[in-house]
Amino acid sequence: MLIAIPEVLDAEGVARLRAIIDAADWVDGNVTSGPQAALAKRNQQLPEDAPATREAAAMVLDALGRSPLFFAAALPLKVFPPLFNRYAGGQDFGLHVDNAIRIQRGTEFRIRSDLSATLFLEDPQAYDGGELVIEDQFGPQTVKLPAGHLVLYPASSLHRVTPVTRGVRTASFFWLQSMVRDDGERRTLFELDGAIQSVAATQGQGDAAVVRLTGVYHNLLRRWADA
Protein backbone atom coordinates (compact mmCIF):
# COMPACT_ATOMS: atom_id res chain seq x y z
CA MET A 1 0.00 0.00 0.00
CA LEU A 2 1.29 3.42 -0.99
CA ILE A 3 -0.28 6.36 0.82
CA ALA A 4 0.48 10.05 1.20
CA ILE A 5 0.12 11.52 4.69
CA PRO A 6 -0.43 15.30 4.32
CA GLU A 7 0.90 17.96 6.69
CA VAL A 8 2.81 15.78 9.11
CA LEU A 9 4.71 19.02 9.70
CA ASP A 10 3.22 22.45 9.10
CA ALA A 11 5.22 25.29 7.53
CA GLU A 12 6.49 26.46 10.92
CA GLY A 13 7.55 22.94 11.85
CA VAL A 14 9.38 22.48 8.56
CA ALA A 15 11.19 25.80 9.05
CA ARG A 16 12.27 24.89 12.61
CA LEU A 17 13.49 21.47 11.52
CA ARG A 18 15.35 22.87 8.51
CA ALA A 19 17.10 25.44 10.71
CA ILE A 20 18.51 22.55 12.75
CA ILE A 21 19.64 20.28 9.93
CA ASP A 22 20.79 22.94 7.46
CA ALA A 23 23.33 24.21 9.99
CA ALA A 24 24.77 20.72 10.60
CA ASP A 25 27.70 18.99 8.91
CA TRP A 26 26.66 16.62 6.15
CA VAL A 27 28.57 13.52 4.98
CA ASP A 28 28.49 11.08 2.09
CA GLY A 29 25.15 9.26 2.06
CA ASN A 30 26.72 5.82 1.79
CA VAL A 31 27.46 5.75 5.52
CA THR A 32 24.19 3.79 5.95
CA SER A 33 24.21 1.86 2.65
CA GLY A 34 24.36 -1.87 2.15
CA PRO A 35 26.68 -3.24 -0.56
CA GLN A 36 24.05 -3.10 -3.31
CA ALA A 37 22.70 0.35 -2.40
CA ALA A 38 26.21 1.79 -2.27
CA LEU A 39 26.57 1.12 -5.99
CA ALA A 40 23.49 3.22 -6.79
CA LYS A 41 23.43 5.94 -4.15
CA ARG A 42 24.76 9.47 -4.65
CA ASN A 43 23.64 11.96 -2.01
CA GLN A 44 24.53 13.55 1.31
CA GLN A 45 23.28 12.58 4.73
CA LEU A 46 23.44 13.68 8.35
CA PRO A 47 25.37 11.21 10.53
CA GLU A 48 23.08 9.01 12.62
CA ASP A 49 24.71 10.02 15.88
CA ALA A 50 24.95 13.77 15.23
CA PRO A 51 23.17 15.98 17.79
CA ALA A 52 21.26 17.70 14.96
CA THR A 53 20.02 14.32 13.70
CA ARG A 54 18.75 13.32 17.13
CA GLU A 55 17.04 16.66 17.72
CA ALA A 56 15.39 16.72 14.30
CA ALA A 57 14.41 13.03 14.55
CA ALA A 58 12.63 13.71 17.84
CA MET A 59 10.63 16.44 16.12
CA VAL A 60 9.58 14.04 13.34
CA LEU A 61 8.60 11.30 15.79
CA ASP A 62 6.57 13.78 17.84
CA ALA A 63 4.75 14.92 14.68
CA LEU A 64 4.02 11.32 13.65
CA GLY A 65 2.49 10.70 17.07
CA ARG A 66 -0.04 13.46 16.37
CA SER A 67 -1.17 12.00 13.02
CA PRO A 68 -4.16 9.61 13.22
CA LEU A 69 -3.85 8.91 9.48
CA PHE A 70 -0.24 7.80 9.88
CA PHE A 71 -1.17 5.45 12.73
CA ALA A 72 -4.12 4.00 10.81
CA ALA A 73 -2.02 3.35 7.72
CA ALA A 74 1.16 2.07 9.39
CA LEU A 75 -0.06 0.48 12.64
CA PRO A 76 3.51 1.04 13.88
CA LEU A 77 5.13 -1.25 16.40
CA LYS A 78 8.65 0.20 16.15
CA VAL A 79 10.00 3.17 14.20
CA PHE A 80 13.65 3.46 13.22
CA PRO A 81 14.92 6.89 14.30
CA PRO A 82 14.44 9.21 11.32
CA LEU A 83 17.47 10.12 9.21
CA PHE A 84 18.00 13.03 6.81
CA ASN A 85 19.40 13.28 3.30
CA ARG A 86 19.71 15.74 0.45
CA TYR A 87 20.37 15.59 -3.29
CA ALA A 88 21.79 18.29 -5.58
CA GLY A 89 23.92 18.72 -8.70
CA GLY A 90 22.65 15.63 -10.52
CA GLN A 91 22.78 13.31 -7.51
CA ASP A 92 20.35 10.40 -7.49
CA PHE A 93 19.66 6.99 -5.97
CA GLY A 94 19.32 4.16 -8.48
CA LEU A 95 16.83 1.32 -8.31
CA HIS A 96 17.19 -0.63 -5.07
CA VAL A 97 15.31 -2.40 -2.29
CA ASP A 98 15.72 -1.51 1.38
CA ASN A 99 17.36 -3.93 3.82
CA ALA A 100 14.91 -6.28 5.50
CA ILE A 101 16.46 -5.66 8.94
CA ARG A 102 17.64 -2.24 10.09
CA ILE A 103 19.98 -1.97 13.09
CA GLN A 104 20.66 1.30 14.88
CA ARG A 105 24.40 1.69 15.13
CA GLY A 106 25.90 1.28 18.58
CA THR A 107 22.69 -0.10 20.09
CA GLU A 108 20.69 -3.32 20.24
CA PHE A 109 17.69 -1.62 18.61
CA ARG A 110 16.62 -3.36 15.44
CA ILE A 111 13.47 -3.60 13.35
CA ARG A 112 12.05 -5.63 10.52
CA SER A 113 11.48 -3.03 7.82
CA ASP A 114 7.88 -3.57 6.74
CA LEU A 115 7.38 0.03 5.58
CA SER A 116 9.59 2.81 4.26
CA ALA A 117 8.75 6.48 4.69
CA THR A 118 9.95 9.71 3.10
CA LEU A 119 9.05 13.05 4.66
CA PHE A 120 9.64 15.81 2.12
CA LEU A 121 11.30 18.94 3.56
CA GLU A 122 11.54 21.11 0.44
CA ASP A 123 8.71 22.40 -1.73
CA PRO A 124 8.66 20.73 -5.17
CA GLN A 125 8.89 24.08 -7.01
CA ALA A 126 12.32 24.66 -5.47
CA TYR A 127 14.07 21.81 -7.31
CA ASP A 128 13.88 19.86 -10.57
CA GLY A 129 13.99 16.08 -10.55
CA GLY A 130 14.22 14.26 -7.24
CA GLU A 131 11.03 12.26 -7.75
CA LEU A 132 10.65 9.13 -5.64
CA VAL A 133 9.70 6.37 -8.09
CA ILE A 134 8.18 3.27 -6.50
CA GLU A 135 7.57 0.09 -8.48
CA ASP A 136 4.30 -1.64 -7.55
CA GLN A 137 1.81 -4.03 -9.12
CA PHE A 138 0.34 -1.21 -11.22
CA GLY A 139 3.72 -0.03 -12.55
CA PRO A 140 6.00 2.85 -11.50
CA GLN A 141 4.40 5.37 -9.13
CA THR A 142 6.06 8.80 -9.06
CA VAL A 143 5.92 10.81 -5.83
CA LYS A 144 7.01 14.43 -5.22
CA LEU A 145 5.12 16.00 -2.35
CA PRO A 146 4.98 19.44 -0.70
CA ALA A 147 7.25 20.14 2.26
CA GLY A 148 5.85 18.58 5.42
CA HIS A 149 4.02 15.79 3.58
CA LEU A 150 5.02 12.14 3.94
CA VAL A 151 4.72 9.09 1.72
CA LEU A 152 4.49 5.60 3.19
CA TYR A 153 5.18 2.53 1.02
CA PRO A 154 6.23 -1.13 1.34
CA ALA A 155 9.93 -1.48 2.15
CA SER A 156 9.94 -4.59 -0.04
CA SER A 157 9.30 -2.53 -3.17
CA LEU A 158 11.94 -1.54 -5.70
CA HIS A 159 12.32 2.24 -5.70
CA ARG A 160 14.66 5.03 -6.78
CA VAL A 161 15.19 8.79 -6.63
CA THR A 162 15.63 10.55 -9.97
CA PRO A 163 18.55 12.97 -10.50
CA VAL A 164 18.15 16.44 -9.01
CA THR A 165 19.15 18.84 -11.77
CA ARG A 166 18.25 22.15 -10.09
CA GLY A 167 18.09 23.17 -6.45
CA VAL A 168 18.31 20.82 -3.47
CA ARG A 169 15.95 18.01 -2.46
CA THR A 170 15.98 17.64 1.33
CA ALA A 171 14.02 14.94 3.14
CA SER A 172 13.77 12.72 6.17
CA PHE A 173 13.62 8.97 5.65
CA PHE A 174 13.04 6.05 7.96
CA TRP A 175 11.58 2.57 8.30
CA LEU A 176 8.86 1.00 10.41
CA GLN A 177 7.99 -2.39 11.77
CA SER A 178 4.22 -2.67 11.71
CA MET A 179 2.09 -4.60 14.18
CA VAL A 180 0.62 -6.21 11.05
CA ARG A 181 3.36 -7.70 8.89
CA ASP A 182 1.26 -8.47 5.79
CA ASP A 183 0.66 -5.53 3.44
CA GLY A 184 -2.70 -6.89 2.25
CA GLU A 185 -3.96 -7.26 5.81
CA ARG A 186 -2.80 -3.73 6.64
CA ARG A 187 -4.63 -2.42 3.57
CA THR A 188 -7.84 -4.20 4.61
CA LEU A 189 -7.64 -2.72 8.11
CA PHE A 190 -6.89 0.76 6.77
CA GLU A 191 -9.84 0.69 4.35
CA LEU A 192 -12.15 -0.69 7.03
CA ASP A 193 -11.05 1.98 9.49
CA GLY A 194 -11.69 4.69 6.89
CA ALA A 195 -15.16 3.33 6.17
CA ILE A 196 -16.00 3.20 9.89
CA GLN A 197 -14.91 6.82 10.35
CA SER A 198 -17.04 7.91 7.37
CA VAL A 199 -20.15 6.17 8.69
CA ALA A 200 -19.52 7.45 12.22
CA ALA A 201 -19.26 11.01 10.92
CA THR A 202 -22.86 10.86 9.68
CA GLN A 203 -24.46 8.31 12.02
CA GLY A 204 -22.52 8.96 15.23
CA GLN A 205 -20.09 6.77 17.13
CA GLY A 206 -22.94 5.16 19.06
CA ASP A 207 -24.76 3.92 15.96
CA ALA A 208 -25.30 0.14 16.14
CA ALA A 209 -23.68 -0.50 12.75
CA VAL A 210 -20.66 1.60 13.70
CA VAL A 211 -20.26 -0.35 16.94
CA ARG A 212 -20.46 -3.69 15.11
CA LEU A 213 -18.01 -2.61 12.41
CA THR A 214 -15.63 -1.33 15.06
CA GLY A 215 -15.81 -4.76 16.68
CA VAL A 216 -14.96 -6.41 13.35
CA TYR A 217 -11.96 -4.08 12.95
CA HIS A 218 -10.57 -4.87 16.38
CA ASN A 219 -11.17 -8.60 16.01
CA LEU A 220 -9.24 -8.60 12.73
CA LEU A 221 -6.48 -6.56 14.34
CA ARG A 222 -6.43 -9.02 17.24
CA ARG A 223 -6.09 -11.90 14.78
CA TRP A 224 -3.36 -10.37 12.61
CA ALA A 225 -1.30 -8.16 14.93
CA ASP A 226 1.91 -8.88 16.81
CA ALA A 227 2.31 -6.40 19.65
Give mean pLDDT in consecutive 10-residue pieces for the chain, a chain of 227 residues.
96 98 92 63 94 98 97 97 97 94 91 98 98 91 97 96 98 98 96 97 95 98 95
| Greatest extent of the chain over all pairs of C-alpha atoms, in Å | 58
Q: What does the pLDDT read at residue 226? A: 94
Query: Side chain identity at 152, as an amino acid letter?
Result: L
Distance CA 25, CA 92 (A): 20
Third-level CATH fold of 3-178: Jelly Rolls (2.60.120)
Q: What does the pLDDT read at residue 88? A: 97
DSSP secondary structure string for all residues of the chain: --EEETTSS-HHHHHHHHHHHHTSPPEEGGGG--HHHHHHB--EE--TT-HHHHHHHHHHHHHHHT-HHHHHHH-EEEEPPPEEEEEETT--EEEE---SEEE-TTSS-EEE--EEEEEE-S-GGG-EE--EEEEETTEEEEE---TT-EEEEETTS-EEE--EEESEEEEEEEEEEESS--HHHHHHHHHHHHHHHHHHHHH-TT-HHHHHHHHHHHHHHHHH---
Domain coordinates of the chain in residue numbers? 3-178, 183-224
Q: What does the pLDDT read at residue 50? A: 95
Name the binding residues for Fe cation.
Answer: 96, 98, 159
Distance CA 89, CA 22 (A): 17
Name the binding residues for 2-oxoglutarate.
Answer: 169
Q: What does the pLDDT read at residue 37? A: 60
CATH 4.10.860 fits 183-224, yes or no: yes
Q: What does the pLDDT read at residue 31? A: 67
Name the binding residues.
Answer: 96, 98, 159, 169
Global pTM exceeds 0.85: yes
Q: What does the pLDDT read at residue 134? A: 96
